[in-house]
Amino acid sequence: MNKSELINIIASESGLSKANAARALDATTDAITGVMASGDSVQLTGFGSFIARDRAARAGRNPQTGAIIKIAASKVVAFKAGKALKGAVN
Protein backbone atom coordinates (compact mmCIF):
# COMPACT_ATOMS: atom_id res chain seq x y z
CA MET A 1 0.00 0.00 0.00
CA ASN A 2 1.30 3.44 -0.82
CA LYS A 3 0.38 6.86 0.57
CA SER A 4 -2.36 7.64 -1.95
CA GLU A 5 -4.05 4.29 -1.31
CA LEU A 6 -3.92 4.97 2.43
CA ILE A 7 -5.43 8.43 1.87
CA ASN A 8 -8.28 6.84 -0.11
CA ILE A 9 -9.01 4.44 2.75
CA ILE A 10 -8.88 7.22 5.37
CA ALA A 11 -11.24 9.34 3.26
CA SER A 12 -13.77 6.55 2.78
CA GLU A 13 -13.68 5.37 6.42
CA SER A 14 -13.90 8.84 7.98
CA GLY A 15 -16.15 10.64 5.51
CA LEU A 16 -13.46 13.26 4.87
CA SER A 17 -12.59 14.52 1.43
CA LYS A 18 -9.39 13.15 -0.05
CA ALA A 19 -7.71 16.55 0.41
CA ASN A 20 -8.66 16.68 4.10
CA ALA A 21 -7.60 13.04 4.59
CA ALA A 22 -4.22 13.87 3.00
CA ARG A 23 -3.81 16.86 5.33
CA ALA A 24 -4.74 14.72 8.34
CA LEU A 25 -2.23 12.02 7.36
CA ASP A 26 0.50 14.62 6.75
CA ALA A 27 -0.23 16.27 10.11
CA THR A 28 -0.04 12.89 11.85
CA THR A 29 3.28 11.92 10.27
CA ASP A 30 4.70 15.41 10.90
CA ALA A 31 3.69 15.22 14.57
CA ILE A 32 5.26 11.77 15.01
CA THR A 33 8.43 12.96 13.25
CA GLY A 34 8.65 16.07 15.43
CA VAL A 35 8.21 14.12 18.65
CA MET A 36 10.77 11.51 17.58
CA ALA A 37 13.26 14.21 16.56
CA SER A 38 13.04 15.72 20.05
CA GLY A 39 13.99 12.35 21.56
CA ASP A 40 10.59 11.27 22.90
CA SER A 41 8.61 8.18 21.99
CA VAL A 42 5.09 7.99 20.58
CA GLN A 43 2.67 5.43 22.02
CA LEU A 44 -0.61 4.68 20.27
CA THR A 45 -2.56 2.36 22.55
CA GLY A 46 -3.62 -0.78 20.74
CA PHE A 47 -1.51 0.04 17.70
CA GLY A 48 2.08 0.29 18.88
CA SER A 49 4.98 2.48 19.90
CA PHE A 50 7.58 4.39 17.92
CA ILE A 51 10.81 4.61 19.91
CA ALA A 52 14.32 5.91 19.24
CA ARG A 53 17.13 3.51 20.06
CA ASP A 54 20.84 4.19 20.26
CA ARG A 55 23.02 2.16 17.93
CA ALA A 56 26.61 1.83 19.14
CA ALA A 57 29.62 2.59 16.97
CA ARG A 58 30.98 -0.50 15.29
CA ALA A 59 33.43 -1.74 12.72
CA GLY A 60 32.25 -2.69 9.27
CA ARG A 61 33.76 -3.75 5.97
CA ASN A 62 33.75 -2.09 2.60
CA PRO A 63 32.31 -4.84 0.37
CA GLN A 64 34.36 -3.73 -2.65
CA THR A 65 37.76 -3.56 -1.02
CA GLY A 66 37.34 -5.58 2.16
CA ALA A 67 38.85 -2.71 4.14
CA ILE A 68 37.65 -2.25 7.70
CA ILE A 69 35.79 1.02 8.26
CA LYS A 70 34.36 2.67 11.35
CA ILE A 71 30.60 3.13 11.44
CA ALA A 72 29.62 5.98 13.76
CA ALA A 73 27.09 5.66 16.55
CA SER A 74 23.59 6.76 15.59
CA LYS A 75 19.96 6.73 16.61
CA VAL A 76 17.49 4.48 14.83
CA VAL A 77 13.71 4.49 14.88
CA ALA A 78 12.04 1.27 15.97
CA PHE A 79 8.38 0.29 15.98
CA LYS A 80 6.99 -2.13 18.53
CA ALA A 81 3.55 -3.43 17.58
CA GLY A 82 0.82 -3.34 20.21
CA LYS A 83 -1.27 -6.30 21.31
CA ALA A 84 -4.30 -5.36 19.19
CA LEU A 85 -2.20 -4.97 16.03
CA LYS A 86 -0.43 -8.27 16.66
CA GLY A 87 -3.80 -9.96 17.16
CA ALA A 88 -5.24 -8.50 13.98
CA VAL A 89 -2.26 -9.65 11.91
CA ASN A 90 -2.21 -13.15 13.37
Q: Specify the pTM.
A: 0.77
pLDDT at 82: 94
The architecture CATH gives domain 3-89: Irregular (4.10)
Phi, psi of 7 (to 5 degrees): -60, -40
pLDDT bucket at 88, cuts 50 / 70 / 90: very high
pLDDT at 57: 96
pLDDT bucket at 2, cuts 50 / 70 / 90: very high
| CA–CA dist 49, 29 (Å, integer) | 14
pLDDT at 18: 96
The rounded radius of gyration (Å) of the Cα atoms in the chain is: 19
Relative to beta strand 58-61, strand 68-71 is antiparallel
Average pLDDT of span 52-60: 95
* Burial 54-70, CB ≥16 within 10 A → b, else e: eeeeeeeeeeeeeeeee
User: Domain limits of the chain?
Assistant: 3-89
